[in-house]
Amino acid sequence: MQIVTTIEELRSIVKWWRGEGHSVGLVPTMGYLHEGHKSLIVKAVSENDRVVVSDFVNPTQFGANEDLSTYPRDMERDAALCEAAGADVIFHPSPEEMYLEDNCTFVDMNRLTKGLCGKTRPTHFSGVCTVVFKLFNIVTPDRAYFGQKDAQQLAVIRRMVRDMNFNVRIVGCPIVREADGLAMSSRNAYLNEKERKAALILHKSLVLGEEMLRAGERDAGKVRDVILKNMRTEPLARIDYVELVDAKNLEPVKKIEGPILAATAVYIGKTRLIDNFHYDSEA
Amino acid sequence: MQIVTTIEELRSIVKWWRGEGHSVGLVPTMGYLHEGHKSLIVKAVSENDRVVVSDFVNPTQFGANEDLSTYPRDMERDAALCEAAGADVIFHPSPEEMYLEDNCTFVDMNRLTKGLCGKTRPTHFSGVCTVVFKLFNIVTPDRAYFGQKDAQQLAVIRRMVRDMNFNVRIVGCPIVREADGLAMSSRNAYLNEKERKAALILHKSLVLGEEMLRAGERDAGKVRDVILKNMRTEPLARIDYVELVDAKNLEPVKKIEGPILAATAVYIGKTRLIDNFHYDSEA
């Protein structure tokens, strides 16, 4: 496995692969990899001849008061995980390699990014779209892999790929959880022992909502209220949002008809965590 | 030569070409082709094994009160010109083929697009970037050809390609003029006889400015004043702007140092015309 830091070198490797007739998979990450990332890499390795994992803490997707400077990093551990999972290349560019000083182009969308996390993080998805766009142009992958934990990100990227005619297949992969149910996230590293316990409230509350849906409840407001009420039993939790939205266009729903996404963002101390589940009343 | 109307068909043609090892050139146009477009196609044919001319009046680059509905069209004549120039495919999609109903993704930039034509046409360059981006993703050309007449468009596209890591070489081609100096444009078709004569004022005034620069004048304000003053002698002309800007970042300059762009937009009756020249004091 190779660690590549320049766009030019990565391009020349991909060109060589293409000359050999190899298919290429891309797993975009911000590093500090966990079992969730690993599941994406393993899936990519099973479906492509060659796999690139990008490992880049993308500054443009952080807001001014967010955790860019403290975001956890551990390149050595990341490299070991990627190698074990079967990746061929880690792409680990500097911010200066990815964004020239007078960089001024961006990708954005005027739907899908306004609600859910977009409300609290109004510039986040433009940063995500822009960097993913750049990575697609650098790697020209056949398939790209994203986790369902970032459900809005996945929906936004699917829409971007469709709207902009990218010839890339987007593969969404299930949330990977700790034994006690907490969705894996690089940001879990921020949590102290008390917060780590409190963080369970996201999954536990969502499960209550999911059980209501499985039992036949079709009033989204009632499901949301139960989730919210349970969240509020945790004194360390400050709720950003709990929403039930259409799984494709991410517009809030009142009645459950067809596929929906139930998503939440909650601050546990200073750490903002997200979790979600999909439910399809017609499946 | 083939006329192709669907993205899927064009993709399959390009895929076949790629399989044969052919290079591909793209000439994006809005149709109603003239000798300026022809020069782009001829250049593309000379530099690539296969050439696609896109012929699409792109709705997203027109403002609400602009001339989308009246923009001149003549597919039959366009096809004859493309065939004569040696193009292999005309891509002529419907607006619905290019933009799905719930399309919501766009590309934009926060510099380069604010001044010059961007002042009067604030959404124009986002529409241009977005459609060019889509065309690049559909055609995946090695080279793409744009006329220098749309100087700001060319600078914006060069920047976009650099910022977004597109693997496409952007080729700018010189302005082609009528015998009397009027820059060729599909919009010249709007002009009546009197307006056609009045339209000469753009080129004539720019030439005066260019002569000053060649004679050694380095005060941009003085050059601009002479151009403006001459423009104002034409009663049918309503000036949108006359600007001398840095050729790369399009910021207004006071002193002429290195490459600059002198650009103008003028309404002749209801028709908005543009023209420009490049000058490099160090060349």
Tell me the CATH number at B203: 3.30.1300.10
- Indicate the average pLDDT of chain B: 97
A181 located within any domain: no
User: Are A20 and A159 part of one and the same domain?
Assistant: yes
Task: Reply yes or no on whether the pLDDT at B62 is more than 90.
Answer: yes
Decide if B35 contacts B184 (C-beta within 8 A): yes
B130 located within any domain: yes
**Lowest model confidence (mean pLDDT) among A278-282, B46-50, B80-84:** A278-282
Decide if B222 contacts B212 (C-beta within 8 A): yes
A159 located within any domain: yes
In tens, the pLDDT along B211-220 reads 999 999 999 9
Is B111's CB within 8 Å of A102's CB?
Answer: yes
User: Are A72 and A143 part of one and the same domain?
Assistant: yes
- Residue A42: how many CB atoms within 10 A of its CB? 19
Residue B78 DSSP one-character state: H
Is B165's CB within 8 Å of A7's CB?
Answer: yes
User: Are A190 and A169 part of one and the same domain?
Assistant: no
A283 located within any domain: no
User: Are B73 and B201 part of one and the same domain?
Assistant: no
Residue ending a domain, choose from A173, A201, A218 = A173
User: Are B166 and B239 part of one and the same domain?
Assistant: no
What is Dmax (Cα atoms) for chain B? 58
Q: What spatial distance separates the first Cα and last Cα of chain A, rounded to whole Å?
A: 41
Overall average pLDDT of the A64-69 stretch = 93
User: Are B57 and B125 part of one and the same domain?
Assistant: yes
What's the domain count of chain A? 2
CATH of the domain at A100: 3.40.50.620
CA B239 → CA B199, B242, B268, distances in Å? 12, 8, 9
Q: Which of A105, A164, A165 sits opposite B160 (nearest CB)?
A: A105
Going by pLDDT thresholds of 50, 70 and 90, the confidence category of residue A107 is very high
Decide if B189 contacts B72 (C-beta within 8 A): yes
Residue A89 DSSP one-character state: E
Distance, CA of A69 to CA of B83 (rounded, Å):
57
Residue ending a domain, choose from B147, B173, B199 = B173
* Type of residue numbered B204: K
In tens, the pLDDT along A199-235 reads 999 999 999 999 999 999 999 999 999 999 999 999 9
In tens, the pLDDT along B119-164 reads 999 999 999 999 999 999 999 999 999 999 999 999 999 999 999 9
DSSP bridge pairs for B261:
B245, B278
Which range of residues forms the domain containing residue A139?
Answer: 2-173
A88 located within any domain: yes
CA B6 → CA A158, B9, B11, B139, B156, distances in Å? 21, 5, 9, 12, 27
User: Are B50 and B158 part of one and the same domain?
Assistant: yes
Distance, CA of A55 to CA of A94 (rounded, Å):
10
How confident is the model at residue B21, as a pLDDT?
A: 95
Q: Which of B104, B106, B109 sits opposite A104 (nearest CB)?
A: B109
User: Are B138 and B11 part of one and the same domain?
Assistant: yes
Catalytic positions of B? 37
Interface of B with A (CB under 8 A): 7, 11, 100, 102-112, 129-130, 133-134, 137-138, 140, 159-160, 162-167, 249
User: Are B18 and B60 part of one and the same domain?
Assistant: yes
User: Are A29 and A146 part of one and the same domain?
Assistant: yes
How confident is the model at residue B283, as a pLDDT?
A: 81
% of chain B beyond a pLDDT of 90: 98
- Indicate the average pLDDT of chain A: 97
A178 located within any domain: no
User: Are B125 and B47 part of one and the same domain?
Assistant: yes
Distance, CA of A92 to CA of A98 (rounded, Å):
10
- CA proximity to B277, closest of B208, B185, B194, B186: B208
Residue ending a domain, choose from B125, B152, B173 = B173
How confident is the model at residue A105, as a pLDDT?
A: 97
Report the predicted TM-score, pTM, of the whole model to 2 decimal places: 0.95
A2-4/A89-91 β-pairing? parallel
Is A164's CB within 8 Å of B100's CB?
Answer: no
* Type of residue numbered A84: A
B181 located within any domain: no
B169 located within any domain: yes
User: Are B114 and B225 part of one and the same domain?
Assistant: no
Is A37 in the active site?
Answer: yes
A105-109/B105-109 β-pairing? antiparallel
How confident is the model at residue A143, as a pLDDT?
A: 98
How confident is the model at residue A283, as a pLDDT?
A: 81
